[in-house]
Amino acid sequence: MRRAFVLVVLALAACGGPAEKAPDAPVSSGPALPAPAPAARPEPVATDQCGADVWRPRLVGAHRSTISATPEGAEWRVHCTTCPVTEEFRPQRMNIAYDEASGIVKSVNCG
């Protein structure tokens, strides 16, 4: 009887098929690569001709001494809010207006 039991167990074990195999561990081909850098915030894109949309958040509320030199190929006009300026409209020119008493930039727009 014992021999019959062993034969039945062996027969059932043979019918079960191969046992589940653990997944292979990844193969290392050298030192680990550094983690990817977090996605940088995209730079603002100007939707106007002079670039005021890009500069407005940086300049409004700042002191006029923080205004950098005019970038190559750009046209900027820096003036106080009460100073006389010409009134011709030039969409590619950026106007930066500051308060004369405090030196704080009040507006940045094209024209």
Please tell me the CATH code under which domain 52-110 is placed. 3.30.10.10
In the numeric block, which tokens belong to residue 97? 């207006």
**C-alpha to C-alpha distance for 29 and 7, rounded to whole angstroms:** 47
Question: What does pLDDT average to over the chain?
Answer: 75
**Residue 108 host element (H or E):** strand 105-110
Residues of the chain with pLDDT below 70 are 1-46
**C-alpha to C-alpha distance for 13 and 95, rounded to whole angstroms:** 86
For residue 92, what pLDDT is reported? 92
For residue 24, what pLDDT is reported? 58
pTM metric for this prediction: 0.56
> Measuring CA to CA, how many Å separate 55 from each of 45, 78, 107?
10, 13, 10
For residue 60, what pLDDT is reported? 95
> Measuring CA to CA, how many Å separate 10 from each of 1, 18, 62, 77, 99?
14, 14, 85, 93, 95
- The domain spans of the chain are 52-110
CA 59 to chain centre: 20
For residue 99, what pLDDT is reported? 96
For residue 30, what pLDDT is reported? 47
